[in-house]
Each structure stands twice: as C-alpha cells, then as structure tokens.
Structure 1
C-alpha cells in the first residue's frame, strides 16, 4: 500500500486583529490627556490664566483697604474737629465773664438789707464787671427794669453780659439777664407795697414777780441771729393792753412773748415754732413753752422754783465737791428757791439717808418743779431716781467720771488710788 503523503494539510492562516480591547483604549486616552496637559502649548495657556485670577483678588483687596483708610481719615478728621471745638469752648469758658451789674433799691426802707454781700459774691466768681450802677425804685430806668423782668421784691440785682457763664444758685435767668430777686428779709414787697420781715416783739410781764424769767435776753439773741426785730414792746400784765392780749390769745403763762406776723418771713422761726408755740389766725406768733419760773394764769402761782439739799460727809476729805451738782443744774437753767448743805452725821442728814435709802455720798436731793424744765427728766433717768414724794435723788456715781465718793454701807472711800510704795 502506498503510504499517505506526510505533507501537512493546508490550514488557512489567521490574521491578527488591529481592534484594541476597552482597557487598552482607556489607558491610551489617559496618556494622551497627560501628554496634552504637559505639552508646552497647554502649560502656556494655564500660566496665562493664573495671573488674571490673582489680579482680580488683589484689586478687590486694594479697594477694601482704600475704603478703610478713607473711613479712618474721615473719622479722625471728625474727631479732630470735635476736639478742637471742645478746646475752643473750654478756652472760651475759662475767660472771665464780661458783665454789668445794676442794683435796684426800694425808695423808702431803712431796715431793708443792702446787696453788698451778694455783689461781693458775684465779683468773687470768674467775672469782669465792666459797669456797676445803683438805682432807686420810682425812677424811670428802675421801673423799666422792674417791669421787663417782672421783679417782685427789692432790693434786686440785674446782671447782663455773658450771663450763660454764671449759672449760679440764687440767680434766675430771665430773657437776656440774670436776676437776683430773693433778698433776705427784711425786704420790700412790690405787690404788697410794704416791708416784709420787719418784726415787732411784745413781752407781757409782771414786774412784781422778781423770780420770773426775763425774756428780753431771748429777744436780743434772736435779733443777733439775723431776725430784724425793729421794735420791742414791754406790757404789764395788769394793764388794760396786757389783759386784752391775754384774753385774745388765751395766754396761760407770764412772762409771755409775741411776734408780729412778719416773723413768718424767717425760716428759722417757722421751722422751730410748732415745738414751742402757736401761730394765731391773725398771723401772730405766740410763745407757749416758757422757760420757768413763770406765773400760771389765772391763779398767778409761781412755777419753776426748786429746793436743793446737798448731802455730804465731812469726814471724807477726798470726796468730790458737791457743788459740782449746782453747776450742772444751773446749766439746765434751773432757778433755786432754797439751797442747803446737810452732813450725814447730823440728825437731819441721818433722816434723809434712811428716808431715801442713800448708800453713797456726796449726793443731791432736789424737789419742786423740775418737770417744767424741758429735757431734764430724760437726762435724770440715767443718773438718779424719782421718789414717791416727787424728790429727785442722784445715785449714779459713775456719772461723776471717777470722782471719789464714800460708800456708806462699807465705810470705804471709792475712787481714790492707793498710796504708792516708797
């Protein structure tokens, strides 16, 4: 048999496909993109766009800074202007005020106070008085000022000029002037056409009462305090005028003191009077809280005298002087009817020691109208006792501030330092 030929059979050759797979296609695109970015042309484009972006931002910042600088400049200019204005105001305020002073006095008021004190006070301020003039009410110029500024009381001051620099108490701004029209009494009231504060004092007394208090010193003291008491009348209780006043004002104590209605012009009188007296329907001020001694009406009984016993121990030479009590009582204005000094060694002294249970001497025993002395009872409750018979007995030796006394229960002297050792 013939052997089959060993030549290989003809097999068509496969051609390689040129189509790439998807993954290979993506990688190629990335490479191309990367190459494009880093290509010289692309880099030049990026570089050309970057400065434009920063340039816009830089311009914005410059604009903002310019606005801030401009704002600060405007604010500083405003502040500088304001400071300059305030400095100028301060300088102007520091300059003396240029003023003119016109004093207007009533035509007929001998008791009215002058304006010397008020004028000196004004001149003591930061002022330069360019002119000063005195006028009398009734003159044409004075009347014109009185009407223009509605002045009600005289004397008065009219101040013109730099009045805004003189905003002082007691000066009232009216139109272009400062007015001082609240003078101290006595003054002339233009509406009443009369003097206000010209006080008359009337004392009703009984000259036969030699122990009665004298009110004349009180009137003089009030006059020295600034009250213009231009007349003081003294009327006897037994006289017709005295009896009429006692009846009209229901007076229960003599001596009595009355002030005319002009006393109402004085704050010191108005403030204190409710505690010491009354103001009647006609304006009269009647003193009703008298300092004793005085006569009670209608009985004419003398009220306010006291009897004093100074109780001592002659054996105690170191003890304080019992007369110190007299000085204290006199300080309260107390008037004495009878005074006596008694030693504890005497029969009368021993009786007093036992009657009032006295344990310490020296001391004082007082009887009489002590309750009529204002304030005395309030003080006494801290230093002594009031007995059942109305007598006042001093007991608080500590009130004598360390003074030596004798303790009758022990016979020892208290308050004396022991002798120093040699």
Structure 2
C-alpha cells in the first residue's frame, strides 16, 4: 500500500509540473485573451447597446478595408483595360523629295500605320525643300527620302511599337521614323539620288539569230527592283560600240552594261558574279548569254553560237 501511495503521489507531482510548465508557456497569452473576453462580457452585461455598437464598428471597419482593397484593385485593372483599347493619338508626316518621282512614297508603311489602333490628329505631306520639310528633316535626323514620321505626345504603347517596329527607327519614346531604304532614294543632306541606273544594250546587227538582249534582260532587272532611267542600244560596228568592246574586252554579244548605280541593289550585286563582272569604274558587264539560254555571237571566232551547241 505504501508503495502504491508513493507511485500515486509521484504521478500527481508530474501532472502538477506539466500544468505548471503549460501555464508558464501560454498562460500569458491565454490570460490576456481571457481578460479581454471578461471585460467585453462585463461590458455586454452592463451596457449591451454599447457592446453592440463596438461589434458594428469593428465589422464596418473590416468591410470598409475590404471594399477599399477591392475597389482599388478593380479600378487599376479597369484602367489598364481602358488604356489598352484606347487609340494612340498622334500625327503622321510624309516628307517627299521634290525632284525624284521614282523614289516612291512609302505607301506600304503608311498603310501599315493606318491599320493600327491609332487616331491621327493630323496627316500631311510636305516637300523636302519646303521650310516645314527642312525643319522635320533636321529635328528627327532624317538621312534618306522619302521619310514617314509618326509623333505622339505620350510614350508609344508597347503593343503598337511591336506592330510597327519593322523598318522603323525609334526617335526617343514618342516618335517612329521610316526612311526609304530600298533604292532609289534621295540623300536628305546632299539631295543626290541613289539607284537610278542607265542601261546600254550592245548588239550586232549582222547576227539575225541572236537574242533580243533588251527584251530578255529588262524583265530580269525588274525582278531585282532595278530602276532603269535611261536605255541605249549600241551596235558593235558603231564607233561607240567598238570603244565598249575594246574597253571592257567584250567577247560575246549581245551584251548588257549597267551604270555603277547598279551597286545600290544588293540582291543584284550578290548574284552578278555568276553571269558577269563589275569593272574598275563600277560598270556591271553581262558576259554570259548562255546563262539565259540565248543564241549569241562569239566575237573571237566570228561565229554564232546556239544555246546547246557550245563555243
């Protein structure tokens, strides 16, 4: 019996110790909460109307906080949505060279701009040699003409910038500039035009079977975008014809000679080595009629050569 009593006393002591530890760990917080609950219970018993008002005020403050957060969030998203669909306002100015009718008008770029979510407040065309044209050229650092300038009073929207970035050069945050990159174009400072090509067709009137070099080569040049502004047909028996044969060591006719401006057409320049040469003075000389399947005259042997007969 004494042993059992000791064991029971030991168990009771352990439980008291655990309760004591528990009270030390969380008694403070629990005590504060109990104290608050006691005060509120006392208030509710003493003055239930005032207690009700306290509850209502707490609920009201919580609701106001929640509604404020919700309103701010919704308004922010709504503003973003409205801004996204709102047209970008701006002006469009096309600067054209006055003395280059073949330089184009950037119509494709202008059409692309008009197809976007843009509200044009002004759309005008000015001459490069006018006062306004000179001001635009200087202000935006325009190098080549024609040029197209889109200006807005605010930063250009990212979506619009991505849609229009092809071929455009940004000038600051509110301006996009397009310049005529493909020849022909005019240098805005020197007013010199690049890409105006002269063509000379060297023929032999005694070769009836020979191909029509003008008829065959003109469409090929057009495919490369080459703008021909002058054409001459010269026979090998003429004084100028003999001069060209000697100067460029011509061995096959009919042949084609292009002025040095042909170098402005990079695609043509890249393939020209397969059919001819570029001389020291920049002239492009077409030397291989067989590449177009044509009958020609070999000046070295004085005979006509058909496409499949060889020299």
TM-score tier by shorter-chain length is 0.5 to 0.7
Query: Would you say the 8 A contact 1:312–1:361 is kept in 2?
Result: yes
Cα distance in structure 2, aligned partners of 1:368 and 1:201: 35
Instruction: Report how far residue 312 of structure 1 moved.
Output: 0.9
Cα distance in structure 2, aligned partners of 1:346 and 1:259: 54
Aligned residues: 231
- Report the CA distance shift for 1:193/1:319 in structure 2 as closer, same or farther (over 3 A): closer
The TM-score normalised by the length of structure 2 is: 0.63
The structure whose RCO (Cα within 8 Å, separation 6+) is larger is 2
Deviations 1:334-390 (A, max 9, x none): 223321001112121111111101111111111132222242211222221110111
Q: Which residue of 1 aligns with 2:103?
A: 213
Q: Which residue of 1 aligns with 2:235?
A: 343
Cα distance in structure 2, aligned partners of 1:263 and 1:213: 31
- 1:12-411 aligned at under 5 Å gives the runs 147=74, 150=77, 189-191=81-83, 194-196=86-88, 201-207=92-98, 209-219=99-109, 222=112, 227=116, 231=120, 232-260=123-151, 261=156, 265=160, 267=162, 269-270=164-165, 272-273=166-167, 277-323=168-214, 324-400=216-292, 402-411=293-302
Query: Would you say the 8 A contact 2:199–2:259 is kept in 1?
Result: yes
- Report the CA distance shift for 1:203/1:264 in structure 2 as closer, same or farther (over 3 A): farther
**Which has a greater percent of helix?**
2
Radius of gyration: which is bigger? 1
Deviations 1:204-260 (A, max 9, x none): 0133x1444121533466369x54676542122233332222112111222212234
- Report the CA distance shift for 1:202/1:375 in structure 2 as closer, same or farther (over 3 A): farther
Greater CA deviation, 343-352 or 288-297? 288-297
Cα distance in structure 1, aligned partners of 2:127 and 2:273: 39
Q: What secondary structure does 2:205 align onto?
A: coil
> For structure 1, which runs of at least 5 residues remain unmatched after alignment?
1-143, 154-188
Instruction: Report how far residue 291 of structure 1 moved.
Output: 2.6
Q: What secondary structure does 2:219 align onto?
A: helix
